Every structure is written in C-alpha cells, then in structure tokens.
Amino acid sequence: MKAEVITIGSELLLGTRPETNSLFLVDELGRLGIQVRWKTVVGDEEEDIAEALKCALQRNELVITTGGLGSTLDDLTRRIVAKVTHRRLVLKEDLLAKMPKGYEKQALLPARAQVLKNPVGTVPGFMMEVGECHLVVLPGIPYEMKRIFTDSVKGLLQKLVRGARPFHIQVIRTFGLTEAQANEALIETLKDLTGESSEQCLGLVAGPTGVDIYLRGCFGPLTREISILERFKASLRKRLGEAIYSEEGRDMEEVVGFLLKKRGLKLAVAESCTGGLIGHRLTNIPGSSAYFERGVVCYSDQSKVELLGVLREMIARFGAVSAQVASALAKGVRGLAKTDLGLGVTGIAGPGGGTPSKPVGLVHMALAYGAETWCESFQFRGDRGGLKLSFSQAGLDLVRRHLLHL
Amino acid sequence: MKAEVITIGSELLLGTRPETNSLFLVDELGRLGIQVRWKTVVGDEEEDIAEALKCALQRNELVITTGGLGSTLDDLTRRIVAKVTHRRLVLKEDLLAKMPKGYEKQALLPARAQVLKNPVGTVPGFMMEVGECHLVVLPGIPYEMKRIFTDSVKGLLQKLVRGARPFHIQVIRTFGLTEAQANEALIETLKDLTGESSEQCLGLVAGPTGVDIYLRGCFGPLTREISILERFKASLRKRLGEAIYSEEGRDMEEVVGFLLKKRGLKLAVAESCTGGLIGHRLTNIPGSSAYFERGVVCYSDQSKVELLGVLREMIARFGAVSAQVASALAKGVRGLAKTDLGLGVTGIAGPGGGTPSKPVGLVHMALAYGAETWCESFQFRGDRGGLKLSFSQAGLDLVRRHLLHL
C-alpha cells in the first residue's frame, strides 16, 4: 500500500520550525506495515492544496492530510477536498447539534465521508474513498490529530491492510567514523549477505553526532527476515566495533547514562565551549541524578581558576584551549564533586576566536578516573551550533569508551 | 516564480528526526522574493524520487533538491535527474582530477548542467534548465548545502528574479500568554485594520517557548504594505506589551544577550532541573563571553550546598524545589561569580518525582541583582524535553523583563 502524508498550513512552510505531525504518522503507519513514500507540506493556498491533493490521490492507495480543518479564515481543506473529489459538502445535522457557536462550518463534510470523532476538540476528521485511494482528513493540532488517529483511524487501517508486514526502523548509531568509512563497512556487509535481500538497508546519514545507519526491521513471524537483520547487524559490528554506540537508535547520553548506572559510577562535568550542553544532554534522561552529580560551565578563565583550580600560568602558557587545561578541568571537577569520573571539555566553537594553530572546530577533552587522565583532541567542521553538538558528542563518547573497559 | 523544495533521503521519512534543510531554503528563497509553495520529502526509492521530480518540474519555475548526491549506495539523485530530464551523465574531467579516491562518482553530472562548487566538501551541486523550470541539485549535508547555496545559488537566483518582491516572514514571539489570549489579540488587531489586506497574518503557533505570531512582511518600495505591517505590529504591541520578547523572530537567549551587552552587565546561572540548558542557550550566541560569566549545574543537593551556599536546613524544610532554594541559588551564584546578576532555577521535569503539592511541571526561579531578589514560579505542561525548554525560557524571560526596567 503506497501512502503519502500531506501537512497543510502556511506556518509549516515558513522556515522557522520543523513540522512534526508527519513524524508521528510515518511511525504509526510503519507499525501497521504501511510505508509512507512521500510527505508533502503545502501552505494555505487553495490552488496549491488542490494540486498537492490531486498528485497524491493519483500515486497512492492511502493519503492522510493534517491541518486546515478548523473554522478560522485560513481553513480550506474540507472545501478543497470536496472540489477535487467532485462531491458536495453536506451539513451533518448530528455534528451541527454538538458544535459550539461560531464553529458551525465544522459540521460540513463531503458527501459519503465517514466521520472520525474528535474526543478532545471541536473539529472532527473524516475518511472517504476516492477511486482506489483511501483519503483520511485530520485536524492539524498535534494533540487532537494523534488522538483521532489512535482512536479511529488506526483500527480502520488495520482492517484495510490485514496481512501486511509491520516494520520498524532500526538505527545503528556510530561516532568517530567518516561517512566514507561507514559506507565501506556497509558495502562489505551487503557483500557478506549476497543472495539475501538487501531491502533491510535504507542508507546512512552523517551529522554532528556521527554517522547513523538506517535498517528496516520487520516484526512478527517473519523469522527469516529477522535473522537476516541480525546477521546484518553482526557483520556491521564486526567491522565497526566500538564506533557503534547504539544498535537501537539511542542517543549517546542515554548510552552513557546506562553504562554509568550499571557500573555504579558518578560523573561530574566541566564545560567551557559547550556551555552546558553536555549537562543538558545528560539530564535529558529521566533518573540521571543517579549518576550525574554536577556540572560547571566555566566559560570565563576566572571560573576555571577559581572553581576548578586551573593555574593561571597554565592558561597563559598553553592557552585556555589546550590538552593541559582540559586535563586540569577534568581533574578539577572530579575533585570538586568527589565523583568517580570527571570530564573536561575546552574548544573553539567559532565563528570568531580561531587562529592558524588553533582553528575554529578544535576541541580538547579529558577524562579523569582514579589516578589516570585520558586526553583526546578533535578537529570538527560545522557552524557554531553543529560544533557545540559535535564537541558534546565527542566528550560523551570519551566517557562511553572508557566505561566499556572499566 | 513558483518554487518547490524536495528533500531526498529515506531517513527523512522515518519518523525519527525532523528535516531541517528545507527550513533554511524556504527562508533564503523568501528573502529573494521567491515563495516556496510545496515541500516534498521522499525516500531513496528510484521510482518515488522520479515521481516527485516529475511532479515538481511540471508545477514550478524553480525546484531545489537536497540529498542523495554523495557516493554512497543510496545516492541516486544524479542518475534519476539525468533520466527524468533525458540527459546523459557526463564525467567532468576537471572535477574528477580533484576528487579523492572512492568519490569518483561525484564527478558525473547531467549534460549541460552548471557545476556549483562545494568549498567545504567533496560533492559539488549542479544547476540546469529543464523546459521552463530551473532545477538546482544540492547535497544533503546541511553545512555543505548552506555553503553552496550562499556562495553560488543565491547570486544566480538573484539574477533570475530581478524585480521580484522580496519578502520575509516576521515572527512576533511572545512568552507568558495562552494560545487563546494571543488569538484574541490577533482577532482584535485584524478588526483594527478592517478594510486593509489581511494577507499579512499567517497564523500562530503555540509551543514550549511560548506563542509565536507569524506575519508576512514585504521589503522594498511597497511602502503601503510596510505601513500596514507596522500598524499591525503596533496594534499587537499595544495589546500584548512586554509579553512580546522579539518582533524579529529572535530566540530569547539572543534578546537577553543583547540587553545584557547594552547595559554592560554580567550574568551567572545556577541551574538544577534544566541541567545546563540555560547556559547552553546563552552560549549559542557568538560573543556571549562578554556577558555570561559562568554556570553551575547544581544537580545534586550536595552541589547546591557546597558551591552555592544553600543551607541544608532550607532544603530539608522547604524542599529543593522551592522559592526559598531558587532565591538562595540566585544569590549564591551571583556571589560566587561576582557578577551583576544571578539566576537560579529549580523545578520538576518529570516524568517521575512529582507530588500532589509539587507536581511535574512546577518550576521556581529567582533573579538576584544588587540587594534585591525577584522570585517567580510557573506550572507548565509537557514531556521532559518540553518542560526543560519551558523552564529555561521562563528563566531567561525573568532576566529579560528585569533588564527592560534597569
């Protein structure tokens, strides 16, 4: 069953924030065995919505739209759906009776459409058959859209796709590899499995947190496919080793948290260039107080000296961004917090502040544990936001790799 | 000029992370006077990409694609573009000469395509004319895509749309209002401007950082439209007052940074529940070292006591999440850092840890300045991630509102 999600709303086209309704729908449809092939975002222009709808109805067996269903000026969807599908709009008396004043328009539905009740808002959705295609029309407010989908749409779709093969996406996450290295491992792995289906491999994405490899995993009784997927993962594991930090798409902070908890160790962090991002990421995980004791955002030299005991002469001689200072930060914060581990990170996030010998993207980090301190440095590329993310990822990965061997 | 952005990559369809490349392009194209009418996301399936491309080339004068251009397995774009546009792929000798080993495929371009140099990566983009439509093909890595767009595409498009009416989206950002309150102000404002075009109003979006109101602003000689927009904004300002923190779509941390810099004041932050997010946000702004001195992520009670001088008895009596502790954190970090201002934030981000009297979503915050300390508390709704964001926003807003009156 080919499927498309159309999200409607001018604010979704405006370039300021990502659209999230479709993420929910893509995930839910996958669990029903329905693969979304296209997502289309369109503004509140009558002509443009009609065009998107026509295109989608032609190439799919299922189209779900969200947005443009309320009673405000820019809500056009129901009228355009009626026009494109050549149906009249019919006033549903039973809906009208329950509609608050000012919302009467919401009781209008295309002829022969099935009402999808909205238990948490005033505007109902609807579903109809258009030739070979099932069209589901939902409101745009995420909370209401999700509820209608879960309460009504899911069950209806389940009947339509009986026997379909539910799937989910598995993300193998790596750090410390170039895209080319990850790709080579992927190619070798595909060679290993010659003769088997290569459908499991969906590709890879490189970003500030590393390279992610996307696999398509099947649930259910398809043991053959499951075993292919497992062999796929085993082959990748053999090639990439510890560069893989999660085989379940988890974030680095969750993996580090899990390892710290398992080993009963506590961590404190001294962050300069990352400005609090490492602490923020660690505390995104519920229960992180079990292993994250404190953080110091030592943005000024003064704070490095006062709170963490970095020597002024050291900063003067080697610079605030140096392996020496990173090491002193790690030891300093560990001593201050009396934790098992101390992580220190100092780098240049840019856009200014770089020099030929210390360019933007350079980061030094150190991990103190017992009498030992491990130092590492990286040179990343990216803008300020991307660099801060890469720095934080490298810092957390330093902790992870050492925890693996403790 | 009708325009569409197509983003290519199975990972973008997978429901795990929002796609952000198109946000950049929509914004940049707007500034050139080009309105993006559709955004399409498609996976790495040959048939599906071809279908999306055909559809887009028919209905637009400009199509920009991102993704699927590298040399990995799933990079199909160049081949499909050639097929759909009936061109041969030609090996560009000058590109090949500069290509690292293993990346040779990236020197293949459709005949008569114009190379778009990539100064920060190996894969070039390209631009070509397909009938009445200009097709721009860019890589998917955001950093590289943005750089190629800025260096090469922008200038070429500027020539194509000479005389177009550049517009930009103005986002009026507010904090502390409900969606209903913001909507009411919007409706009243629209009434004020009766008889004028209401095209300027694109709607509002509520989220963890507050309610944003989207307006469409025109640059250039269209003084009438500019004056409508200005009157629109003046009317909103009259109704919403200081709840508006930016009329230019800026983030709260940028506004706070600007005010601190303007007044020559320094800030230090003690964060408990936000775990470093406030420091992270403040340091997202280049040059923040001018006003952000340090942060303490006092996640454990021990760290609150040791570093910030919070009394153990106070925590025992009022709890770590209390106005008293927030106030002590603010004063403590101000004293520790010897800054003008100290901000303290303590709350319950959940999902666990809530009680009937202190539910998840409760946050206490305090700002110390001179001999004074201002305390505020909020009760937010949302998941852990959303709550941390709301808490950080409320903390920064407390600083902002006090800076306005200093």
Q: What is the CATH number of domain B167-246?
A: 3.30.70.2860
Question: Looking at CA atoms only, how far is residue A277 from chain B in angstroms?
Answer: 5
Alpha-carbon span A225 to A206, nearest angstrom: 27
Q: Which residues contact B405 (CB under 8 A, 6 or more apart)?
A: none
φ, ψ of residue B156 to 5 degrees: the values are -65, -40
Q: What is the mean pLDDT of chain B?
A: 90
Mean pLDDT over B60-68 rounds to 95
Interface check for A302 against chain B (CB to CB < 8 A): the answer is yes
Phi, then psi, of A10 in degrees rounded to 5: -60, -35
Listed in sequence order, the residues at least 6 apart from B65 whose beta carbon sits closer than 8 Å to its beta carbon are B5, B6, B7, B8, B53, B77, B81, B135, B136, B137, B138
Tell me which residues of chain B, numbers 250 to 279, contact chain A at a CB-CB cutoff of 8 Å: 269, 271, 273-279
Judge contact between B225 and B166, C-beta under 8 A.
Answer: no
- Nearest CB among A18, A40, A214 relative to B38 is that of A40
> What tokens does A19 get?
């659209």
The nearest CA of chain A is from the CA of B390 a distance in Å of 14
Domain residue ranges of chain B, discontinuous segments joined by +: 2-160, 167-246, 252-404
Provide, as residue numbers in chain B, all residues whose Cβ is less than 8 Å from the Cβ of A40.
38-41
Cβ atoms B213, B186 nearer than 8 A:
yes
Q: What angle do CA B77, B81, B84 make, to 5 degrees?
A: 135
Q: What is the largest CA-CA distance in chain B?
A: 78
| Nearest in space to A59 (alpha carbons), one of B58, B312, B55 | B55
DSSP state at residue B100: P
Contact criterion met (CB < 8 Å) for A293 and B300? yes
Dist CA A397 CA A399 (whole Å):
5
CB atoms within 10 A of CB A158: 12
Tell me if B260 sits within 8 A of B266, measured CB to CB.
yes
Q: Using the structure block, give the residue that is written with the tokens 């005991």.
A: A309
Neighbours of A302 (CB within 10 A): 14
Cβ distance of B13 and A26 shorter than 8 Å: yes
Q: With CB atoms and an 8 Å threshold, state whether B299 touches A307.
A: no
Nearest chain B CA: its distance from A55 CA (Å): 8
Interface pTM, i.e. ipTM: 0.85
Fill in the DSSP letter of residue B14.
S
Residue B398 structure tokens: 């407390």
- For residues B327 and B375, is the Cβ–Cβ distance under 8 A? yes
- Chain A residue at shortest CA distance from B47: A37
Mutant choice from B26, B42, B253, B294 vs A, greatest count of A C-beta within 10 A: B294
Residue pair B5/B25 in contact by the 8 Å Cβ criterion: yes
Could you give the angle at the alpha carbon of B252 between the alpha carbons of B246 and B254, nearest 5°? 90
Q: Which amino acid is at A321?
A: V
Q: Which of B283, B319, B286 is nearest to B301 (CA)?
A: B319
H or E stretch covering A348 = none
- Chain position carrying tokens 């150190």: A366
Quickly list DSSP for A93-160.
Answer: HHHHHHPPTT-GGGGEEETTPEEE--TTSS--EEEEEETTEEEEEE-S-HHHHHHHIIIIIHHHHHHH
Place of tokens 């009396």: A338
Q: Residue B85 pLDDT > 60, yes or no? A: yes
How far apart, in whole angstroms, are the C-alpha atoms of residue B45 and residue B81?
Answer: 13
User: Could you say which residues from 350 to 389 on chain B have a Cβ atom under 8 Å away from some Cβ of chain A?
Assistant: 350-352, 384-385, 388
Alpha carbon B357 to its chain centroid, in Å, reads: 35
B229-244: per-residue pLDDT in tens? 788 889 899 999 999 9
The predicted pLDDT at position A30 comes to 84
Write the DSSP assignment of A239-285 as a string of letters.
HHGGGEEESS---HHHHHHHHHHHHT--EEEEESTTTTHHHHHHTTS
Q: Nearest by CB to B141, from A206, A350, A352: name it.
A: A206
Give the closest residue to B55 by CA, choosing from A37, A62, A52, A85: A52
Who among B55, B286, B302 is closest to A352 (CB)?
B286
Q: What is the DSSP string of A174-226?
A: E-S--HHHHHHHHHHHHHHTTTS--TTEEEEEEETTEEEEEEEEE-TT-HHHH
Select from A24, A26, A42 the Cβ nearest to the Cβ of B14. A26
- What pLDDT shows up at residue A295? 98
Question: Residue B181: what pLDDT?
Answer: 86
Total CB pairs under 8 A between chain A and B = 289
Q: Tell me the nearest-neighbour CA distance from B47 into chain A, angstroms.
A: 10
B59/chain A closest Cα distance in angstroms: 9
CA distance A374 to A277: 21
DSSP string of B226-257, one letter each residue = HHHHHHHHHHHHHHHGGGEEESS---HHHHHH
CB contacts of B198 in chain A (<8 Å) are 73
CA–CA distance, A315 with A346 (Å, rounded to integer):
12
How far is A25 from A126, CA to CA, in rounded Å? 16
Contact: A286, B55; criterion CB under 8 Å? no
Q: What is the pLDDT of residues B324-368, one digit of tens each?
A: 999 999 999 999 999 999 999 999 999 999 999 999 999 999 999
- Out of A52, A204, A271, the one facing B72 most closely (by C-beta) is A204
In B, which residues are within 8 Å of A277 by CB distance?
276, 280
pLDDT score, position B137: 97
pLDDT at A219: 47
- Report residue A303 as tokens: 């704070």
B314/A contact by beta carbon, under 8 A: no
Tell how far CA B403 is from the center of its chain.
Answer: 24
C-beta atoms of A169 and B42 within 8 A: no
The partner residues of A201 in beta bridges, in order of sequence, read A215
Select from A271, A276, A352 the Cβ nearest to the Cβ of B277. A276
Query: How many CB atoms sit inside 10 A of residue B79's CB?
Result: 17
Q: Taking a contact as any Cβ pair under 8 Å apart, which residues of chain A between 116 and 175 contact chain B?
A: 169, 171
Q: Measured between alpha carbons, how far is A133 from B239 in angstroms, rounded to an integer?
A: 47
* A102 touching B (Cβ < 8 Å): no
Q: Which two tokens stand for residue A354?
A: 């770089």
Chain Cα centroid distance, residue A277? 17
Q: Which residues of A touch B36 (CB under 8 A)?
A: 13
Q: Is A294 on the interface with B (CB under 8 A)?
A: yes
- Residue B162: the pLDDT is 80
Q: Is A80 on the interface with B (CB under 8 A)?
A: no
Mutate which of A8, A13, A58 to disrupt the B interface (most B C-beta within 10 Å)?
Answer: A13
Q: How confident is the model at residue B219 (pLDDT cuts 50, 70, 90)?
A: very low
Which residues touch B225 (CB under 8 Å, ≥6 apart)? Answer: B197, B200, B218
CA-nearest of B332, B335, B326 to B394 is: B326
Three-state DSSP class for residue A9: coil
What single letter denotes the amino acid at residue B11? E
β-bridge pairing B114-116 and B89-91: unpaired
- State the residue for tokens 């790495």: B44
The structure tokens listed for A298 are 């030592």
Q: Do A27 and B15 touch (CB under 8 A)?
A: yes
Q: How confident is the model at residue B314 (pLDDT cuts 50, 70, 90)?
A: very high
B295 and A295 within 8 Å at the Cβ level: the answer is yes
CA–CA separation, B214 vs B187, rounded Å?
A: 13
Amino acid B69: pLDDT: 85
* pLDDT at residue B196 in the model: 55
CA distance B210 to chain A (A): 13
The pTM assigned to this predicted structure is 0.85
**Do A329 and A345 meet the contact criterion of CB atoms below 8 Å apart?**
yes
Cβ–Cβ of A382/B143 closer than 8 Å? yes
B398 with B274: CB under 8 angstroms? no
Strand A201-207 versus strand A210-218 pairing type? antiparallel
Whole-angstrom Cα distance, residue A82 to residue A92? Answer: 14
Does residue A36 belong to the interface with chain B, where contact is any CB pair within 8 Å? Answer: yes
CB atoms within 10 A of CB A182: 25
Return the CATH superfamily for domain B2-160: MoaB/Mog-like domain (3.40.980.10)
Q: Are A38 and B48 within 8 A, CB to CB?
A: yes
Q: Do A48 and B38 touch (CB under 8 A)?
A: yes
Question: Which of residues 175 through 214 in chain B touch A, CB cutoff 8 A?
Answer: 198, 202-205, 207, 212, 214
Neighbours of B97 (CB within 10 A): 8
- From B177, B179, B128, select the one nearest B156 (Cα to Cα): B128
Tally: H helices and E strands in chain B:
14, 17
Per residue in B145-189, pLDDT (tens digit) is 999 999 999 999 999 888 777 766 788 999 999 877 888 888 888
Choose from A4, A14, A284 for mutation: most chain B CBs within 10 A: A14
List, in order, residues 6 or more apart from B174 with CB less than 8 Å away. B182, B210, B211, B212, B213, B240, B243, B244, B245
CB atoms within 10 A of CB B229: 19
Positions in chain A short of pLDDT 50 = 219-221
Q: What is the pLDDT of residue A16?
A: 63
d(CA B124, CA B118): 5
Q: Does A284 sit within 8 Å of B280, measured CB to CB?
A: no
Mean pLDDT of B47-52: 95
Residue A321 has what DSSP assignment?
Answer: S
- State the amino acid at position A282 in one-letter form: L
d(CA A382, CA B144): 9
CA angle B38–B44–B49, rounded 5-degree value: 45
pLDDT score at B226: 63
Domain A252-404 superfamily per CATH? CinA-like (3.90.950.20)
Cβ–Cβ of A179/B72 closer than 8 Å? Answer: yes
Task: Say which of B198, B275, B300 has its CB closest to residue A279.
Answer: B275
